[in-house]
Amino acid sequence: MNSIRHLGAALGAAALVLLLWGAPPASAQGTPVGTAQNAIGTLVVVRSDGIEDRLQGKGALPLYEGDVLRTEAATQALIQFRDGVQVALNEGTAFKILSRWEKARGITRIIRLSQGEVWVTTGEGLKQLEVETPVATAIVEGTEFNLKVQEDGQSVLTVIQGVVQFGTPFGTCPIRTGTISYGARGKRCTKPAETNVQPAIAWKQALTQ
């Protein structure tokens, strides 16, 4: 009987060791939501378990729910989600990949942008996508736009194609093709004003060629 107990204890200890040391990282256990495809400089990806991965140049670095992506000075990067949404990160940008599930709408992909600048195109078909900043949220289904978070948190939305619902806690404005709007803390977004969209897309050209 004692030998059986000792054997059971040994097997339990071995299983614990395998659990602690042999299990893959949490980020590797789920299904990738997209890939990082190109980086000018170094794109840093911080997994939900704290492990960092990096991409330099072209590649296919898998991305998972909960990942935080970060670009430093003189760094830009391009990622693609599995549903066809493309996102380019300008230098000094950081965001977290999240999602929300609703019975009526299914999965909505969320990009929580804490700083920097992103260019987004949803590609063909309607996509459920939201980009959150510290002061505003851009809700899109099928469009192309640029969103920049300034140092004070003010968010600048430029719509290249389509319509983006741009909102703060004080109201939401539909921003249409060729217009710009500003979102600031404690205020509604500004009325859309016509703008030259070229500066909002010129910075990402080297990534998408």
At 177, list the tokens. Answer: 């093709």
Amino acid in the structure at residue 70: R
> Does a structural domain hold residue 21?
no
> What is the tens place of the pLDDT at every residue in 105-132?
788 999 999 999 999 999 877 788 999 9
> Does a structural domain hold residue 2?
no
Domain at 36, CATH number:
2.60.120.1440
> Does a structural domain hold residue 95?
yes
Q: In the prediction, which pLDDT does 56 show?
A: 96
Number of domain units in the chain: 1
> Does a structural domain hold residue 68?
yes
- What beta strand segments (E) does the chain contain? 34-46, 52-63, 68-71, 76-81, 86-89, 94-102, 106-121, 129-132, 137-140, 144-149, 155-161, 163-168, 171-176, 179-183, 193-194
pLDDT at 44 > cutoff 90: yes
Could you count the other beta carbons within 10 Å of the beta carbon of residue 152? 9
> Does a structural domain hold residue 19?
no
> Does a structural domain hold residue 133?
yes
Cα–Cα distance for residue pair 20/96, rounded to 1 Å: 27
Q: In the prediction, which pLDDT does 68 show?
A: 98
Domain of 180? 31-208
SS3 74: coil
> Does a structural domain hold residue 203?
yes
Q: In the prediction, which pLDDT does 178 show?
A: 97
Which helix (H) or strand (E) is 8 found in, with range?
A: helix 2-17
Half-sphere exposure of 71 (CA within 13 A, CB side): 24
| Residue in this structure with the two tokens 């804490």, named with its chain if needed | 114
Least confident of 15-19, 63-67, 183-187: 15-19
Spatial contact of 42 and 70, defined as CB atoms under 8 Å apart: no
Spatial contact of 136 and 112, defined as CB atoms under 8 Å apart: no
> What is the tens place of the pLDDT at every residue in 139-168?
998 899 999 999 888 999 999 999 999 999
> Does a structural domain hold residue 132?
yes
